[in-house]
Structure 1
């Protein structure tokens, strides 16, 4: 009887290990991630969602999975992933996000002037191109390191009201840390864009591979250069309060297939 129990335990271990990424990342809600099985073929399937290429990896050396970023604007219900000519359905559940009310002294950061809007439009186009970059590299890790050591302050998806006026939801995760705190790359990657923007202030984009992008903004200092390859843990800049910020903090965006998703998913801090 003891031998049978031991054999059953051993047989269960590979299946348990195989599901690690799925258990970690599968949070199929608006602003979340859907993990879609693609089979165990010899070569990686080509997957697309909403017309955009999707990150595909092999889970524990066994089966291929697509890791799909779900935009905040998607309504709960059925969605379709295209993979090598197949239409694969997955379900998106509901999630209620909190509200946040922020007072800014600089009214131009709430209602920009016409000349500001031209700058914002130009900067948005530049950053959109960086988010849509899709390299062939496989990310070094999907369980990410925290870029800084500190408590979470403003979470992803919060509906934001600046001086009483609603603006876009919070597209990243904020950490409450002091100015000058070093910010480290949560996974290996390539610096694809550096800028100093109207809303985001000093900003760094890091491409981890296959459309898996980190963006860090409001920095006080940038310590890397465009095109630089960053090993995991490299200091890329320092925390600041540049751009539209009420004080020093570290703001971190994660994008998958050009959809901004909750970074908390990748550091095992997601709240349903």
Structure 2
């Protein structure tokens, strides 16, 4: 049943044009492999993406999805399939390249910034997948990300909060080196010590630690590091990321990529990204 009134999270025609080729290609590939045989009639992909973005933006449980969307089981099934098949990673790559080129940059980055964020979890997250960040005094999970100099996502890894920034950073740097071979420079905070720096050197990435002046008090914008901090702030406009609600770390990573897809598509079409008060 089509909705009479759109939600603020719904895709505009311009944003859908950016995503439609990737999603249609995914559907055609699955159909070619015979994976749709015996299934109910196909749902409109734009309608499904609207529902997934609604979940990410509002933070509601899947079972609370409004009835004017497809059944929540169907929407979650598409979300899980897109995560498993790498659709969110592909969309991130396509949109990131478009944003960089629109900003007059080369489509592929040559430098990155890495950081981590500890976040509390909900009751449905298995205890075995959680930990305690002793420094931040947070029990839950940790999001390790790498972004380019525009703050666009290059790599993401979700672990228990007890995993050190250093250990997570090593995996993020490896992922960046594999997917973005032009990257030769990385900036990080003091949580990334000798092993991460040495690992970066082996990958051909010069990891520079940006230190805060110990004599400074209060808030201070730190060169280079502010880029990744801004990205974390923008991600938090999506309430699904205010905590970690996903049972599987891979689904948490998918929610982060989905939020970046939302942000980048709005940036390309010059549509405002409303904050929580605006929605």
| Band the TM-score falls in, shorter-chain normalisation | under 0.3
Normalising by the residue count of structure 1, what TM-score does the alignment of the two structures yield? 0.24
TM-score of the superposed pair, with normalisation by structure 2: 0.24
Relative to total residues, which structure has the larger strand share, 1 or 2? Answer: 1
